Amino acid sequence: RKRYSKQRVTCELAFKVGFASAKKLANIGEYIVIGKDNRPSSDMLEAAVTAGICSAGINVIKFGIVPSSAIPFLIKKTSASGGVMISASHNSSEYNGIKFFTDHGFKLEEETEAEIEKEIDSINDTSLRSSGKDIGRVSNRCDLVDSYIDFLTNLYPLNLRGLKIAIDCANGVASFIAPEAYKKLGAALSVHSNEESGENINYMCGSTFPENISNIVKKTKSDIGIAFDGDGDRLIVSDEKGNILDGEFIMAIIVNFLKNEEKLKNNLLVTTVMANLGFVQALKNLGIKVITTDVGDRFVLIEMLKRGSIIGGEQSGHIILLDKYTTGDGILTSLALLNVLIKQKQPLSELSKIMKKYPQVLINVE
C-alpha cells in the first residue's frame, strides 16, 4: 500500500498491474471482478486497472464500493477467474493499494505476486497494443452486492431483536454494507463514522482508533460496540462497559465456544508470533493447541490450510473462520461473536474474562 502520488501508486502503474495480473489469472474472454473502497483515489485506480485488464483481452465485472472480503464471494457468484480490490485497508485516505484474489477466493501466493512483478517489468508499448475482439469488455453488477449481505446473514441467521449494537464504520466501506446486515437480523442499531466520501476514512475512528467505539458504547448504553477498518475485513469490539477487546479476545471467546460445542476441528487455532502470552496461555489452559506463524493474514491462512484449522487470526482483528469463508470478514466475525453472546446468555464483559492480557512490548526490527 502506497500513497497515491507521482512517485508511488500511479494510474500508469495501475494499468500495468491490471494488464500483468490479468494475463496471470485468466484466459482471453474470461472474467475478473473488481471492487473498491470509497477513498478519493479509488475511482481513478479502478479505471486504470480495468483498462489494463481489458487490454489483456479479459472482461471486467465491476461491483463498486464493497468490502475486500466480498471479492471471494463475488468471484464464485460470477464464476470469474480472479478478483481485484482497490483499497489501502486501515490506512488513511492519501494511501491506496491493489489486492488480488484467485478463482478459489484466496489471496495470491508470494510466488505468483513475484511473477506478476516480473511481467510488469517486461511490459512495453508493443505488448500493450490490442484491438477488435481482443479487447475485454466491462459490465457493472452492483445489484449483486445485496446477495453478499444475504450470504453473511444466512451463515449466521441470528435473531438480534432486543440487542442494542453500536457500530463504527471507519468512514469506509462498512458504511455501505454493515448497517443493512444488522438491521436485517433485527438489531437496534446506532451507526457512527459512516461518512461516505472516503476523505476521512480511518481518521480517528474505526478499528485503529478503538477509543471512539468505547465512548460511543458508554454514551448510547449499547450491549456491544463494533469498530471496522476502512475495507471492512477486520474489527475491534467494545463490551457493554466500554472495555476494548482486540482480535485475541474475540478469537478466545469464539474458539472456546466452538470447543464446548465440539465443533473445533483438530482442536487448534493459528495466530502469529506477535500473539500476547496471556492469549496463548488462556487457550492452552482450555486444552486448545496454538500454532504461531510469521505476521500477516497470508501466513495465518497458509498454516490453517496446512494444519486443518478452522479459526485463526491476529490481534488487529483480522480473523479467518475457514469453515465459513476463505478470508477475514469483519461482519462475519462479528456475527460469530454475537452468536456466542446470544447462545451463552452472558454479557460480553463476562465472556471476555476467559483471558487476561500480559504486559507486552512490540518492537519493529529493520
Residue numbers annotated as active site = 89
What distance in Å separates the CA atoms of residue 210 and residue 220, rounded to the nearest whole number? Answer: 16
Report how far Cα 225 is from the mean position of its chain's Cα atoms. 18
The beta-strand segments (E) located in 44-168 are: 59-65, 82-86, 95-96, 98-102, 138-140, 164-168
What distance in Å separates the CA atoms of residue 271 and residue 202, rounded to the nearest whole number? Answer: 25
Q: Per the structure block, which three cell numbers stand in for 50? A: 480495468
Contact 104, 112 (CB under 8 A): no
> 124: exposed, middle or buried (C-beta count within 10 Å: 0-12, 13-18, 19+)?
exposed
Helix %, strand %, coil % for the chain, to 5?
A: 40, 20, 40
Q: What angle do CA 184, 189, 190 make, to 5 degrees?
A: 150
Q: Is 84 helix (H, G, I), strand (E, B) or coil?
A: strand
What distance in Å separates the CA atoms of residue 91 and residue 156, rounded to the nearest whole number? Answer: 29
Residue 366 CB partners (closer than 8 Å, separation 6+): none
- Picking from 47, 233, 77, the residue whose alpha carbon sits closest to that of residue 144 is 77
Contact 312, 275 (CB under 8 A): no
